Amino acid sequence: MSQNYRRRWSPEQISGWLREDQNIYISYETIYQHIWSDKQCGGQLFQYLRRKGKAYQSRSKDKQAGRGFIKNRISIDERPAVVDDKSRIGDWEIDSSYWQGHSGALVTIVERKTSFTVSTRIDDKSAKTVTAATIALLKPFKDAVQTITADNGKEFAYHEKMTESLKCGVYFADPLLFVATRVK
Model pLDDT, residue 68: 58
Q: Give the tens place of pLDDT for each residue, 5-52.
A: 456 778 888 888 888 888 989 888 888 888 888 888 988 887 777 766
Q: Where are the alpha helices (DSSP H) in 41-139?
A: 82-85, 127-138
The region of weakest confidence among 68-82, 86-100, 167-181 is 167-181
- Answer whether CATH 3.30.420.10 is correct for domain 76-183: yes
The Cα angle at residue 170 between residues 165 and 176, in degrees rounded to 5: 160
Mean pLDDT of 81-86: 92
Q: Is 29 helix (H, G, I), strand (E, B) or coil?
A: helix
- In the three-class reduction of DSSP (H, G, I as helix; E, B as strand; rest coil), residue 174 is classed as coil
Percentage of residues of the chain with pLDDT beyond 90: 45
Cβ-in-10-Å burial (0-12, 13-18, 19+) of 119 comes to middle
Residues 6 or more apart whose Cβ sits within 8 Å of residue 53? 35, 39, 46, 47
Task: Read off the pLDDT of each residue in 52-74 and give the average, rounded to a whole number.
Answer: 61
Report the C-alpha gap between 160 and 26 in whole angstroms.
52
Domain ranges of the chain: 2-48, 76-183
How many whole angstroms separate alpha carbon 117 and alpha carbon 141? Answer: 12
Residue 4 pLDDT exceeds 80: no
Instruction: Please give the mean pLDDT across all residues of the chain.
Output: 83
pLDDT band at 65; cut points 50, 70, 90: very low
- Predicted TM-score (pTM) above 0.75: no
